[in-house]
Structure 1
Amino acid sequence: MLLIVALIVLLIVGPFIAIALNRRYGFAANALVVVLLGAALLPRTLVTLVPSPESTPYDIASASLNLQTQTIAFVIAAVIVLVGAGRVRLPLALIVFAVLLSAGMFISWQGTTPEWSGYLSLIGAVIAYGVGWAIGREAFNRVDVARLLLILILAVLVIQLAVAVLQLAGVSLPTGLVNSERTLEQTSGRVSGTIGHPANLSKVAFVLMLLSLPFTTAAEKRLSRLAFACVAVAALVGGLTVSRANLIAMAVLLAAWVLTFPGRARIGTRIGGAIVLVGAGTVFAPLVLERFQDDAEGGLRPLLLTAALRQLREDFLIGTGPNAYIAVVGKVDAATASGYPVHNAFLLLTAELGVLLAFLFFLPLLVVLVWGIWRFRRSDQFMHTPRVLVYSIPGLGVILLTGWGMVSVLLVGLWMFTVGFLSSSRAGVTLQTAGSLERELETESKRALAPSR
């Protein structure tokens, strides 16, 4: 009911807001609002198109064929970009992936309702990459768009933090707001915000942190401070989820970023950041250690991994079909039949789609990470995005190798949007970093002091 009321209000006032945003910022503004609202704040099922029996197993998407707000958001955002004379750029790997995936639905797999549900989720992720690239080109080259991006990210994170605090306080919130009837925050001190699960909320916080970090180096003070605020709130939201893998990813990323913060005269920033990290570690480390003590082996993870490796030995070329892993592997493995896929994003997609399609899907991520390593020493030319990418590698490894949430319908679109966004910096960045501005001023000063000939 709450979601319906919100949609009605949005339909009434939305057009006026959209016109105002477009006049001031261009197409990127409305695309940003749609993406963050549908994918980072309120990822939801809007309507069921084709229902599936309740007993039907599923993993990366719902069993029924639904219209999801996140998928719709990226489609609408792509239309906004194209109508606004923007460009939705897709790498060749994702184009080939989409073509082969579509062909496989008719040739290789059974084409069940859960499989079509998984198919739509993955196609939505492909579109999300293109939208991320288009918005990234605007944000990395226009201060006003970058500022709007950070304001919207901060708004999303503050709302998530507010909901999280209410959950910790034991306030009963509407299911339509929190997207779940579970009460993990009451039984184990973990929060889920409006996402529905603590692990997914922490992944959203981690993704929004990646989007914000490059702008902490901006020469414009207001922009960099806004970016620091986004990073700080994202870390706080992530900490409250007590999600082990995601907290480790955030801790490694932030520690590397703060202790090697780019630019000169940053000793105060480094010391202050280190103090904050130590304080946060003091607060959250006992909670994480307690979770490790309660579940040192990760529950069924070892058994689920064994089942996945067995499935890959038998079939690594075609796969079970998208969103069909549990349905197929669960017939021969009791742990998988309990309703959980292998907690490894790479293995899960390989088992579902085959090694070629899985490789094509992850190739854009691999390319941008390799580019980050290659351009690390010249990262100031790209708003220090290469530095962000390199520092994110350990955390990404932990997240993708110990869980499958990043390829699930709730997160895969937002994740691919982020990959596209950060990849757009490869085309060049015009926003200045504090370090580059300092060098320019130093050069101008030397020129002014040099004796004339």
Structure 2
Amino acid sequence: MSNDTVADPVDSGRPAGTTGPVRASRLAAIRSLLVLAISDPGQRVTTGLLVVTLGLVPVALLPAESPIYAGITNATPTLYTFTLTLGLSSLLMVMLAGRRFRAGLLPWAPFLLWLLTLTVVAWGWSPRTVSGLLHLCLGAIAFAIGVAAHHQDRGGSALAWVFAAVAWVQLGAIVAAVLGFPLREVTGAQALDVHGRATGLTSHPGELSKVLFFCGLCVLTLPQRTARERVAVWLTLGAVFVGTSLTQSRAVLAAVMAMILISVLLELAGGRWQRKHFVILGTTVVLGLASLPWLINRFMADPTGGARPHITQVALSAIGDHPWAGVGPNGYVAVIGATDRLTETGVPVHNIFLLSAAELGILGAVLLWLPFLVVAVRAIRRVRLSRGADPTARVLVSALPGIVLIGATGWGLLQGPYFLIFSLVMGYFGARIGEPYAKRADVRL
């Protein structure tokens, strides 16, 4: 008899779809789990997965293989590992830091409206165009995730530490390849182009060097409260420099050197000169001199940058022919290649500013780079007002010449996961500018 009277404690005679206290407690529990997922240490896990899939394993999942196309992304929409982590991160940010996430998207609103308008009236919905549209929208989402992630990161350095780990993993992959155990092999015709140059876990030395550049930018913002932290920062900067040198990427090597030197000089201008700065400057100069042999060889073999003058002229002509609408996102090689043989073989203009103007129109390119320009202007203004005492602003200003150099001599910052890394880092540290730097951990070199 007693067994017949035992009821499920959650039932209590109510329908399964009850809206009473039970349902409220379930919603509270779900929200608590989500808070745990994005707060410390869950925040570090979420951010870490995103950075790892962007910087170490940007693998295509569906379709696993697609036709080779030298665009800002694949010729057809593709699901990558980082697509999943971006989706997860954006969902959590919307639910738990919605206001910050929307604030991060706000500078992109004019550009997103431009994309929608031009797609309807000019570009159409071909798979190639849709793939490019999705890629650019993911860049906006990555930027907004960076803004929201910074405000959820109580320690203020989760992203930077993960990028530091990425630098060491990439250096480990380089060492493994030197020892005869490559973790990733470059095959086909491209193998001849990259022979003797480090690629790490990427498919091209230029890609690896860009990953390492952003690793170096993040490492410069890390706290140095203890001797152990200072050694970790300096060693990681050394790993970034060595890895970049082994890629034999001229523009990125110059960008890394300029970033470190300018950061030190800005500290000097603020009256924070210390003996250890001589060590940093000396190490930078020594590593730069060690790169001279391959620098000289590359300049002797290719003093003018190959066919850059020709492809630059082709891009300028394309912009003149399509100044307002461009040829459509991800369409440069397909459209301009119909009239230029070199472009048809998969060689777009090696300049992200010209490439974006050719694909999106002049106004579209301006709107694309507007969020980055806003961050740059804020950083410059903050450095001037604080006399270099704001570490985040100081590091961003130090990186700006390198970013412009990399963008003006290549197209990788607009392509694949590297555009998303660029957006994520600028959003994250852009949100950090102007915080009470006196209360932060010491991040001086």
TM-score by length of 2: 0.83
Aligned to 1:162: 172
Q: 1:123 to 1:187 in 2, by over 3 A?
A: closer
State the alpha-carbon separation in 1 of the partners of residues 135 and 424 from structure 2. Answer: 13
For 1:30, which of 45, 62, 71 is the aligned residue? 45
Q: Does 1:77 align with 2:111?
A: no
| Preserved CA contact (<8 Å) 2:164 2:236 | yes
Determine the C-alpha separation between the residues in 1 that align with 2:412 and 2:86. Answer: 19
Alpha carbons 1:383, 1:433 under 8 Å: kept? no
Q: Is the partner of 1:298 in helix, strand or coil? A: coil
Task: Give the corresponding residue for 1:153.
Answer: 163
In structure 1, how many angstroms separate the alpha carbons of the residues matched to 2:127 and 2:305?
31
1:254 aligns with 2:260: yes
- Find the counterpart in structure 2 of residue 236 from structure 1: 242
1:295 and 1:346 map into 2 onto residues whose CA distance is 23
Q: Quick check: 20-29 or 114-123, which moved more?
A: 20-29
Matches within 5 A, 1:369-448: 369-379=376-386, 383-426=390-433, 428-429=435-436, 431-434=439-442
- 1:8 maps to none
**Counterpart AA for 1:228:** W
User: What amino acid is aligned across from residue 416 of structure 1 in structure 2?
Assistant: S
Asked if the contact 2:349–2:411 (Cα under 8 Å) also holds between the matched residues in 1, the reply is yes
Asked if structure 1 preserves the Cα contact closer than 8 Å seen for 2:213 and 2:256, the reply is: yes
Deviation at 1:92, TM superposition (A): 3.1
| Contact 1:129/1:416, CA 8 A, preserved across alignment | yes
| Distance in 1, Cα, partners of 2:432 & 2:186 | 34
Once the two structures are superposed, what CA deviation does each residue of 1:366-397 show, in whole Å capped at 9, x if it has no partner? 11212222121344787422222222222112
| Structure 2: segments with no counterpart, 5+ residues | 1-32
Residue 114 of structure 1 aligns to which amino acid in structure 2?
A: R
Gapped regions of structure 1 (runs ≥ 5): 1-17, 437-453
Quote how far apart the aligned CAs of 1:187 are.
Answer: 6.1
Q: Which amino acid aligns with 1:70?
A: F
Separation in 2, partners of 1:411, 1:374: 27
SS, match of residue 65 in structure 1: coil
Distance of aligned partners of 1:183 and 1:168 in 2 relative to their CA distance in 1, 3 Å threshold: farther
Residue of structure 1 equivalent to 2:12: none
The 1-side partners of 2:148 and 2:138 are apart by 15
Deviation at 1:151, TM superposition (A): 3.5
Letter of the structure 2 residue corresponding to residue 428 of structure 1: E
Matched, 1:117 2:127: no
Rg larger in 1 or in 2?
Answer: 2
- Please name the residue that 2:114 is paired with: 100
Q: Alignment RMSD, CA only? A: 2.9
In the TM superposition, what are the counterparts of 1:314-325 in structure 2 within 5 Å?
314-325=321-332
Number of residue-to-residue matches in the alignment: 408
- Counterparts in 2 of 1:163 and 1:138: CA distance versus 1, 3 Å: same
The alignment-based identity, stated in percent, is: 29
Counterpart for residue 42 of structure 1 = 57
Task: Provide the rounded CA distance (Å) in 2 between the counterparts of 1:180 and 1:64.
Answer: 22
Q: Distance in 1 between matches of 2:255 and 2:380?
A: 18
2:370 to 343, 363, 373: 363
Q: 194, 203, 207: which is aligned to 1:200? A: 207
Report the TM-score when normalising by structure 1: 0.82
Task: Give secondary structure in 1 for the equivalent of 2:416.
Answer: coil
Cα distance, 1:21 vs structure 2: 7.6
Q: What secondary structure is seen at the aligned counterpart in 1 of 2:220?
A: helix
Aligned equivalent of 1:309: 316
Check whether the contact 1:190–1:242 (CA below 8 A) recurs between aligned residues: yes
1:284 corresponds in structure 2 to 291
1:61 to 73, 93, 102: 73
What residue is the counterpart of 2:352 in the other structure?
Answer: 345
